[in-house]
Amino acid sequence: MSTIIGAKRTFTYFKTAVRFSMFALILCLAINVDGEESAHQVNDESSLRSFMRGIVSDPHNALESWKSPGVHVCNWSGIRCNNASDRVIEIDLSGKSLAGTISPAISNLSSLRILDLSQNSFVGHIPKELGFLTQLGQLSLSWNFLQGKIPPELGSLHNLYYLDMESNQLEGEIPSSLFCNGSHSLRYIDLSNNSLEGEIPLSNQCMLQELRFLLLWSNHLVGQVPLALANSTKLKWLDLESNTLSGELPYEIALKWPQLQFLYLSYNDFVSHDGNTNLDPFFASLKNLSNLQELELAGNHFGGKLTHTIGDLPVSLVQLHLDDNLIYGSIPPHIANLVNLTLLNFSSNLLNGSIPPSLCKMGNLERIYLSNNSLSGEIPSALGDIQHLGLLDLSRNKLSGSIPDSFANLPQLRRLLLYENQLSGTIPPSLGKCDNLEILDLSHNRISGVIPTEVAALTSLKLYLNLSSNDLNGPLPLELSKMDMVLAIDLSNNNLSGRIPPQLESCIALEYLNLSGNSLEGPLPFSLGQLPYIKALDVSSNGLTGEIPESLQLSSTLKKFNFSFNKFSGNVSNKGAFSSLDINSFLGNDALCGSIKGMSSCHKKHTYHLILLLIPVLLFATPLVCMFGYRLGHKAKIQRRLAIVSRNDFDDDEEETKELMYPRISYRQLIEATGGFSASSLIGSGRFGHVYKGVLRDNTRIAVKVLDATTASEISGSFRREFQILKRTRHRNLIRIITICSKPEFKALVLPLMPNGSLERHLYPSHGLSQRLDLVQIVRICSDVAEGMAYLHHYSPVRVVHCDLKPSNILLDDDMTALVTDFGISRLVKGDESMSSSNSSASLSSTHGLLCGSVGYIAPEYGMGKQASSHGDVYSFGVLVLEIVTGRPPTDVLVHEGSSLHEWVKRQYPYKLDNVVQQALQRLSPSSSSSSSSSSSRSRKYDDKCDHKMWEDVILELIEMGLLCTQHNPMTRPSMLDVAQEMGRLKDYLCNSSFGDEALNYSIKLGDSFSSEDNLVQK
């Protein structure tokens, strides 16, 4: 028994020992695992700190938590960890304005799945060590300043499904390993807007079967579209635009893309089949792509005849661009099968024959471009049945016959361009029913008869009326004076007769007036010189008589004149607006004399006897004249300008006084401060009133915006709206209000006077009144404006859509800080609404009947009847940036180029911008600009660090920013918050001395953005 008991004890001891040994082993393993995890965590933190040491600029303190002691790495901003292991799996620092280099140490984050450093200011090369991140699924380095080649080592990322390196300075060939790495997971590839060259590296060994998006636009790629791309049967978006790709249009490949939605092959060197003569195979290959929405093939110069196969394209097609090619033949009636088409562009080809009436079956058409072809015959009256048609461009063809009356049935028609044809007959009076018409150009035809009063009274015209070079006769209709929003009127080279009506002064938005080459007679109206925005006036080759009105010489806006070949007489001074003129503006007027260069001098008359006789009379009459003249004349002036019926002091409304804690400034004080609202105090005029400068008794310099009482009933809501906005908004880049004066008879906003005036004054200095800005100042001003607008859209207690952003509404203070002003036609948006939502245009107060913006800055969707939205402000900002860089006002481009500033610049982008960039360099470089002392010092500091190439790059970036903001589709424009971030990034870069020798070149995609796919682009 004792033996048995001893054996049991021995066995028990043995089991206990075994259990203890197992526990010790497990404990050791646990300690080892914990130690390994701890080591990994330490390694992750060490790698991130090495990455942080490469950051030399963090203007928004995005990495503040990285520097705080005791904060766990998983709680650092932009960092996400695996919950189980606390390993770093995501770095998202997009849009933080970080500047520096990307440290190779980031490759030690072996569990990293997402790396997003987009929209920053990183420079240098892409570290090849990123190829060690074998778990990486998303890599986004877009919108930086990265240079050099794409590392072939990135081909080792077998789990990569999202790759975005758009808009950098990358060069060299695309490494084949990137596409052919044995991985089939790549779904999204964007290498666009770089300087990549060589062929697209796809071969039959590469099977990118999961690829949905391939974006390679705006590079220097050559060769053909690789046949291996046919393996990507899930492709939805292919954008190869603006390269130098060649070969036949890829019809064999397109057959394999049943899910394709967007195909962009424009501006390459593609040809059609059978020696560039046959388009049918390519069109046939697309007919079964039931999801295809947009097809862009413009600017390839391929030939071929349009046949009925074009009608076999997918009925889902919304936009078709075949412009700027060598397509010949007539337009097949079968094209009417594309019933969902909203845009049809066949311009600048070799098309002939007549326009098929079957186009009227395409009821969704909004824009038709058939210009610059050889189309003949009459314009089909059936076009008047396309109810959604907003633009019809049939210019530069051989069309004959008369203009159809049926155009009066087009309620959405905004632009009708029929110039340079062989049209005859008269102008249909029914065109006056086109209530939304903004442009009417019938020039260079054979149209006769008088200008119908119904057409002359088209108050909707906002851009221009061009009836020049026809056979029109009769007088100028008085109804022309109703065009109070038209920008330009050209009636030159007709047979018009009679006098120029003084009532044209009612065309208060008019900038260009050309009446030359007619038979007009009588005097030139004094009122023409009082047009507030007039820039160019041509009345040459008429029979006008009398003296040239002094008002033209006193105009502060007129820059171009032509008075030649008339019968003018009298003395002409070389002062004021005439100071830059020579005899070429006055040829053929033998009775003119004066001090203009090349003009004969006037004979002086002895008038001192008359003066001696008048002296006693004047001395005796002076007190009476001063007393009664001042009382009556001054009162009449005030009544005329302000419609004041009482001279008592007016204070603010009681309700507004309660709301505001601002100083109470009486009407009498405003009278005293502005010298009775005298002409010498006038600093600006507009459709709704005048702005006067003044000084209060305490030496406060003020600007008084006085509402024109003659239109008070129309714009009283505008005044109230501006007050409501200014009262609630507070931002360093928005004008602040001092107080208001508001009564039924008089309304005025009192604002601080900005000593450096408006941006417009600096962009277009006249008579030495202002000095030009340099590039550093321009970038700072654009950044200021973007910040102010972002506040209005996203942070203001009352969300605001400005609706009228332009240079004259941007003021500059002592330090040249920009402030956005003039909210008279703004929309107030409910504070709890998201500006990015579809309801972002919901307004609290109506501006019905008012032009939503200024000509040239108005977003195209407004012209199609859309409500005002934040997207429209972004468009206006883009126009502003393009205007600053090109030095051309958008209205000037509209008149002389017949297109928007966006379209004019984009036609030259990216390979024809040299002239624009060089002219900008001359205007904006410090050596050609005179600025304030503080600004000059900044410019010199910058110039010391930056070479010529850097200046060019900065200008290119501004152009690309402007083009991005002015995209036709409002949904593809960035938000104002994004714009402010980008402009701030560029400003910070310019001010960062650490990168003075680095070349700038972040680029922004032109064209449309894409929809999210499988959560790939939901960033």
- Pairing status of strand 99-101 against strand 415-417: unpaired
Which residues does 217 contact at the CB level (< 8 Å), separation at least 6?
192, 193, 239, 240, 241, 242, 243, 264, 1005, 1007
| Rounded (5°) CA angle 539-542-544 | 85
**Is the same domain home to 745 and 786?**
no
Q: Say if strands 55-57 and 99-101 run parallel, antiparallel, or are unpaired.
A: antiparallel
C-alpha 300 chain-centroid distance: 27
User: What's the domain count of the chain?
Assistant: 3
185 assigned to some structural domain: no
Using the CB atoms, write b or e for 19-28: b if 16+ within 10 Å.
Answer: eeeeeeeeee
Considering the domain architecture, whether residues 871 and 982 belong to the same structural domain is answered as yes
**Domain shared by 706 and 816, yes or no:** no
Residue 894 and residue 926 in one domain: yes
- How far lies 396's CA from each of 373, 380, 418, 781, in Å? 7, 17, 8, 41
Residue that terminates a domain, selected from 108, 136, 164: 108
Indicate if 42 and 96 belong to the same structural domain: yes
User: Is 878 contained in some domain?
Assistant: yes
Residue pair 415/439 in contact by the 8 Å Cβ criterion: yes
Which CATH number fits the domain that encloses residue 688? 3.30.200.20
- For residue 962, is it within any domain? yes
Please indicate, yes or no, whether residues 711 and 776 belong to a single structural domain of this protein: no
Which amino acid belongs to residue 998?
E
What's the pLDDT at 654?
36
Is 941 marked as binding a ligand?
Answer: no
| Residue 463 covered by a domain | no
Any idea what the CATH number is for the domain that residue 958 is in? 1.10.510.10
Dist. CA 847–CA 798, nearest whole Å: 17
Q: Is residue 450 part of a domain?
A: no
Question: Domain boundary at 108, 129, 160, which?
Answer: 108
Q: Which residues are catalytic?
A: 804
Structure token pair of residue 149: 């080649």
| pLDDT-flagged residues of the chain (< 70) | 1-42, 181-184, 604-664, 685-689, 708-729, 742-744, 766-771, 797-798, 823-853, 863-865, 926-949, 989-1019
Distance CA 21, CA 25 (A): 6
Range of the domain at 959: 759-830+854-995
Which segments within 744-900 are labelled E, that is strand?
Answer: 746-752, 799-801, 810-812, 818-820, 827-829
pTM over 0.75: no
Q: Say yes or no: 817 and 775 in one domain.
A: yes
Residue-level pLDDT at 28:
43
Q: Is there a single domain that holds both residue 804 and residue 920? A: yes
Phi-psi region of 468 (alpha: psi -120 to 50; beta: other; left: phi over 0): beta
Question: Which pLDDT score, from 0 to 100, does residue 579 have?
Answer: 85
Res 675: pLDDT: 83
| Side chain identity, residue 205 | Q
How far from 527 is each of 315, 449, 506, 654, CA to CA, in Å?
56, 28, 9, 41
**948-965 helix and 976-991 helix, angle to the nearest 10 degrees:** 170
Residue 1008 covered by a domain: no
Report the CATH number at residue 92.
3.80.10
Whether 455 is in a domain gets the answer no
**Does 378 reside within a domain?**
no
> Identity (one letter) of the amino acid at 62?
A
Domain boundary among 708, 732, 752: 752
pLDDT at 196: 96
Q: Which residue has the tokens 């007129």?
A: 558
739 and 766 assigned to the same domain = no
* DSSP helix/strand/coil, 543: strand
Query: Do both 933 and 805 map to the same domain?
Result: yes
Q: Which of 75, 164, 179, 61 is nearest to 117 (CA)?
A: 164
Do 871 and 964 fall within a single domain? yes
What is the per-residue pLDDT for 636?
36
pLDDT of residue 969: 79
Instruction: Indicate whether 84 and 35 sit together in one domain.
Output: yes
